[in-house]
Structure 1
């Protein structure tokens, strides 16, 4: 029994020693494959960034392979009694791991994504995509990898005693350990100081999760969160990719139709508020003009929603537009045509960088009249309109914020009760109170719209003015049952679906149920107001609202982190790592649903199409 016990102990000891050396050589193999990530990624601009790259390359793949050894092969050394069977098992594990790494490098080079549910579905879907067409050739290498692993396994077993005598295991482990720990410590420093040559490498390698310590540093007074957020936003602009916008030289048939243009954006107004009880005037106005009932904002938050409205581009390009100081083609073309500008709204208009650094960049500040009260905003606009004596056409932008700020109340009488500020609301349904307060604000805005159109009618401008009424995003009152309130918390229709009513002189009233987007407004105006002959694909991700093209299958929304693909019966959300979730029309998750993957590829391509190619 003692002999048997010693024999088992010796076998396990030999297998563990062999496993260490087997893992070491697979670390080297993984590092060699990992060099493909380095070749395809942005090369660090500083010596410190390059030094970090070297440390993380050695430390990460050393930790990754050794981690799989600890989790799989080390326990198996005690459970599999036969050394031949154990070595075969190790060869199969190593072959699987290196094959997965090879596939991951291919996905990274093709899509700039690591293996994820989206990538796997692309690989296994059977659809004819670039990734799908080429990945199968990679499996030709699988038998080669397997044979090489068998040779390595046998060679190490024969040389095990000789290798053991060298006593180099501890120094090698120490090198990998130092590289791993040092790379994480360097990343903690880089993250706190927003040192981009290091932080830009965060997602270069698969299963890479560099350590940060912001909470610890903030607790000990080493980091100011607000100041950090400001620096992070500024860096996102400074380091963004350069826009190629438009993709070709713009051409025009003539100077355009010369109509005035008024755009009214109601902050936070969802589409179902345009009905006879809540907004009777806008509802009646919509029936007399063009109404788009299935219209979606380009985002569920203000900045990205406004960006999509003016640029006709997805929100992934926001920082690039800001860093390049590129105005929307719509605005720059209106300037060139001699349009007079009148810009009116709350503090958001003069403080939000999307206006000051991008959309209205370079316009005289005195043209931006700001106030916190929407009634006063309309008064300021009316005074400007009355004093506008030139014969040149004008462009006016009005942003109304009472709906978004409904919880703060306002100088208007409540129409729907109970609401915030009402007496005896205790015991009432909170959702009902909030919804009524929201409707009260929308009703007040409806009255301001009456005033706006009265001024246009009184000055006989209706026949010479294109009017667009819409919103930057919607507002939810937990209709999805996911504890979502307000905006910027999910991509349901309550937060994305907004009204779009257009008065276009000479057009007949109509109601359109086709799928439309904020990205469609810029090409509509460029084609039908300014008469460009350049195709919309050269400067926008949208189509003209007046286009007779075939029914579209999807439209884009989202923000800087997520791509949202809206289809007639579903909404697909894709994060920056390639993970996706499909929801139905009521924004309930569909666990078994999968979108058409070639369509997903088209959407992802659209998010990068306007970047400059080096």
Structure 2
């Protein structure tokens, strides 16, 4: 009798476990349907390979998630309380909550480009009214619960028939093959830079596709031996949002001088006598921020005028800045003169320019000299309006030419350590050298030349690249900005805050006669009027800072954040300001959502 009861108990548990697996599979299928919303956000694939990967990864991923939910929440209850009515009710409620969370995640991902986490939930909670509109947030959970209860009862009543069909192993095999195959395909795609596949990496929540770039290369599979994704892929980024409406009129020459590692507080009459006087005679912006603390992020914000979160957008590897597109349409000769630089991101940053880069074998300072000489020869040979980007990099490397007679060392006003004091004075020598080069450069230009001199980034006195990379203090991002308007000799000093994202709108509206609103092609506004935004974005897609009037918030890619005072000298213990961060996240999605 006792054995009979044990056998009946084991059979009941077996039926419940079997029912649980099929119920989990059903919810995996529902999750796949909800997952279509993620594809609407990131954009559907353009090739059969992309679609094949998307289908098998969707089946494998959401089936796996559904099984994990069952294993964690329902399987233990099956062993403790093996009663079908209780289990069916609990399962329906758990499945409803899980699907509602998934639906909420699709809303957040569409709006912010991030999946749910404690950090993101904190921000989204403050924006709940905007995310949840109408009565759908009440009706939808009720509808899902009814569907789950119906499915739970339906499967329980027919579980014996389903078991007799004996197709469970086949379903598990198909799901398992999809799961494993998707990871194997991703390993290959990661090693071969197949962006049609790797761009979907962050599309689904809790998705961590396998990568094995170093493993494949060690086995003789090099990136160059595998076909790359076609460059003709339709871009998911809508940039610019609307066609540019510009009318060429009285075309003038345009010169942008961008200096790597150019601190705003060292533009003084002793260190840089020529540029200091030049600034006093022209349009000088006293509180200007670069868009980044490194070469790529600083130049990206300067030339694209976009928030640094867009720097990794695959489309921008094929699409040059809107500024360069319009200059080409208006028939400008376009050139870039700079020391050689590796790993330019995005790849189309300088596309379409006559790139005359100089070797740094003899030092960065000598490369700067050669770059300026190459520009002088180039612009004198032009018989049409020209646009030129001259990038000088000596200060970022503390470099000066051999035999250069600099200026006297001074005691820094900044609180610096002994090693930093040495770097400080070497940095001043480099700035003085650049000043002499700028004097030669800017005094030989045609009268009808618009000149803009600024920094690519600021400079902190360290030889540690990682420290410089993570430092978003004013020293590392506040740079000079000086504008000379052709045929105008009046001076003006601007005391309101400006940033690199406003440079492109200024040039487009004032020089290229574009009528589009700046938001069509930029994250900024014209420099000629105060920006109404209460924040400025500094950084890239991995680590960025939000500059506000009295504080600086630094956030990394994992959502960890720290808040500092205005001088970046003291950490403030407070919660992040949700309204500003919501604006930042929406701006980071705006060119995807149109």
Is this a same-fold pair by TM over 0.5?
yes
The answer as to whether partners of 1:240 and 1:320 remain within 8 angstroms in 2 is: yes
- Give 1:76-225 correspondences, 5 Å limit: 76-80=77-81, 84-108=85-109, 113-116=114-117, 120-121=121-122, 123-126=124-127, 129=130, 131-134=131-134, 137-223=136-222
For 2:480, the equivalent position in structure 1 comes to: 499
Residue in 2 aligned with 1:296? 289
Q: SS state of the match for residue 345, structure 1? A: strand
Is the alpha carbon distance of 1:325 and 1:601 closer, same or farther for their aligned partners in structure 2, counting shifts above 3 Å? closer
Q: What CA distance in whole angstroms lies between the structure 1 residues aligned with 2:52 and 2:514?
A: 51
The 3-state SS of whatever aligns with 1:209 is coil
Secondary structure of the corresponding residue to residue 133 of structure 1: coil
Q: 1:477 to 1:17 in 2, by over 3 A?
A: farther
The answer to whether residue 514 in structure 2 is matched with residue 513 in structure 1 is no
Q: Which residue of 2 aligns with 1:422?
A: none
In structure 1, the partner of 2:352 is: 361
Residue 434 of structure 2 corresponds to which residue in structure 1? 445
User: In the alignment, is residue 476 of structure 1 matched against residue 467 of structure 2?
Assistant: no
Residue 400 of structure 1 corresponds to 392
1:160-218 CA distances to partner (integer Å, 9 max, x unpaired)?
45544444433332222222122222222233333444434433433222222223223
Alignment match, 1:592: 575
Q: Shift in Å at residue 255 of structure 1?
A: 1.9
CA distance in structure 2 between the partners assigned to 1:79 and 1:276 by the alignment: 80
CA distance in 2, matches of 1:341, 1:172: 60
- Structure 2 vs 1, CA of residues 172 and 494 (structure 1 numbering), >3 Å: closer, same or farther? same
Distance (whole Å) between structure 1 residues aligned to residue 545 and residue 20 of structure 2: 46
Structure 1 runs not aligned, ≥5 long: 420-427
Is the 8 Å Cα contact of residues 324 and 352 (structure 2) preserved in structure 1? no
How far 1:293 sits from its partner (Å)? 2.4
Q: Secondary structure at the match of 1:514?
A: strand
Q: Distance in 1 between matches of 2:39 and 2:382?
A: 62
**Deviation digits for residues 432-479 of structure 1 (CA, Å, limit 9, x no counterpart):** 4444433332232233334445x44xx8x6x76543221112233469
| Alpha-carbon distance in 1 for matches of 2:346, 2:152 | 63
The alignment partner of 1:183 has SS state of helix
Query: Are 1:255 and 2:250 an aligned pair?
Result: yes
Q: How far has the Cα of 1:267 moved from its partner? A: 1.7
Alpha-carbon offset, residue 96 of structure 1: 1.0
- Is residue 267 of structure 2 the alignment partner of residue 267 of structure 1? no
Q: 1:180 to 1:39 in 2, by over 3 A?
A: same
Q: Distance in 1 between matches of 2:347 and 2:52?
A: 39
- Residues 572, 403 of structure 1: alpha-carbon distance in 2 compared, 3 angstrom cutoff: same
Counterpart Cα distance in 2 of 1:48 and 1:382: 50
Q: How many Å separate the matches in 2 of 1:44 and 1:393?
A: 41
Whole-Å Cα distance in 1 between the matches of residues 316 and 237 of structure 2? Answer: 8
Is contact 1:526-1:532 (8 Å) kept? yes
Assess if the C-alpha contact under 8 Å between 1:514 and 1:551 holds in 2: no
Structure 1 counterpart SS, 2:394: coil
Residues 8, 342 of structure 1: CA spacing in aligned structure 2 closer, same or farther, 3 A cutoff?
A: closer
1:294 Cα deviation from its structure 2 partner: 1.9
Does residue 552 (structure 1) correspond to residue 541 (structure 2)? The answer is: no
Note closer, same or farther for the CA distance 1:347–1:276 as it changes in structure 2 (3 Å cut). Answer: same
User: Alpha-carbon deviation of 1:490?
Assistant: 5.1
Change (3 A) 1:93 1:341: closer
State how far apart, in whole Å, the 2-side matches of 1:396 and 1:199 are. Answer: 35
Report the CA distance between 1:61 and its aligned residue.
Answer: 1.7
SS at match of 1:476: coil
Change (3 A) 1:148 1:489: same
Number of matched pairs: 575
Would you say the 8 A contact 2:242–2:520 is kept in 1?
Answer: yes
- Residues 1:35 and 1:536: Cα distance change in structure 2 (over 3 Å): closer
Give the structure-2-normalised TM-score: 0.79
**Match in the other structure for 1:58:** 59
